[in-house]
Structure 1
């Protein structure tokens, strides 16, 4: 097993563990996992190919769909100039 695949597996286990925490304790580790995800996905894609990277990206979007939607809406509102 490659180091990239091992890192991806550990990331998934960490994300599943964070999801089991109470909501008030999820923010800090969730942000760290959200920031590390692109690094792990690009690493997987470089080592194992583009299709593994696409699968990793699809899994990432599936797991973090609500935070990504929230931050996307905030960014979109800022671009449009809507006050928050």
Structure 2
């Protein structure tokens, strides 16, 4: 297993453990940190293993961070519907 895939798996484990911990801000601070760390990891995985593996890792990250994506989608729709 390549180093980038190993790091992506560690990112997923960290995200899962973070979601299990109690939080006063509903995990938004952790989500911002996970997004900031996940984007370079996703680029590295895609560079080392190709676009198909990169898409799989992107789908896994999107399933973990689905609420920020839902809120982003709602914001974009509000801005473009006017």
TM range (shorter): 0.7 to 0.9
**Structure with more relative contact order (C-alpha pairs < 8 Å, separation 6 or more):** 2
Contact 1:4 / 1:40 at 8 angstroms: preserved in 2? Answer: yes
C-alpha deviation, 1:80, in angstroms: 5.0
- Tell me whether 12-21 or 34-43 shows the greater mean CA deviation: 34-43
Aligned to 2:43: 42
Q: TM-score, normalised by structure 1?
A: 0.78
Contact 1:5 / 1:44 at 8 angstroms: preserved in 2? Answer: yes
Instruction: Determine whether 1:2 maps to 2:2.
Output: yes
Q: TM-score, normalised by structure 2?
A: 0.80
- SS of 1:52's partner is helix
Q: 1:1-80 residue pairs with structure 2 within 5 A?
A: 1-24=1-24, 26-79=27-80
- SS of 2:24's partner is helix
Unaligned runs of 5+ in 1: none
